[in-house]
Amino acid sequence: MDDVQKEKGELIEMFGVHFESQYNLPPLAARILGMLIIDSCKQGLTFEDLLERTGASKSSVSTNLNLLLKLGKIKYYTVPCDRKKYYRPAPLSERLANYLKIIDFEKEIIERMLCYREKTASCGAELCNLENTKAYKEHVLEVEELLKRTIEKFKVIENNNQV
């Protein structure tokens, strides 16, 4: 195995461990996503490519591809006169947009907490909690703005580089 292949294998494994631990993806789904990020820049990978590279059963690969599709982590495309699906990671702008949904829900919780705590704060600990919640709201709003700007940058890059 040459150095580039070894490095590619290590990168895929690093992605796999990261996606497993941070996104609670099953090990095979995490490695498939890593493979797609590393190997599908020019052309997506087919189901058969993934079977061969993972060494997993058809049902396992199929189940994990369907999970990644459902989560919006990957997409597929087809080619006229070719019955195969070609898989690749969803654009980074779309994957990051999922975090905006999480932030929106978190903002809702924070607002409810602020309203509740403003009505009920009666001791030092609750007043401290109120101030912490206000500071956390500021943080979440800053993260939201940064994320929106980053997504816009990625959209420009993705639109300029469409094949």
**Tens-digit pLDDT profile for residues 108-135:** 999 999 999 999 999 999 999 999 999 9
Burial of 3 (C-beta count, 10 Å sphere; 0-12/13-18/19+): exposed
Residue 18, pLDDT > 70, answer: yes
User: Which pLDDT value is given to residue 163?
Assistant: 52
How many Cβ atoms sit within 10 Å of the Cβ of residue 90?
19
Tens-place pLDDT, residues 46-84: 999 999 999 999 999 999 999 999 999 999 999 999 899
Query: Which residues are within 8 A (CB) of 151 and not within 5 positions of it... i.e. 6 or more apart?
Result: 93, 96, 97, 100
User: Which pLDDT value is given to residue 42?
Assistant: 78
What tokens does 152 get?
Answer: 């816009």
CATH topology of domain 3-90: Arc Repressor Mutant, subunit A (1.10.10)
What percent of the chain has a predicted confidence (pLDDT) above 90?
88
Strand extents, DSSP E, the chain: 45-46, 74-79, 82-89
pTM (predicted TM-score): 0.80
User: Which pLDDT value is given to residue 1?
Assistant: 64
Tell me the pLDDT band of 154, cut-offs 50, 70 and 90. Answer: very high
CA 37 to chain centre: 12
User: Which pLDDT value is given to residue 43?
Assistant: 87
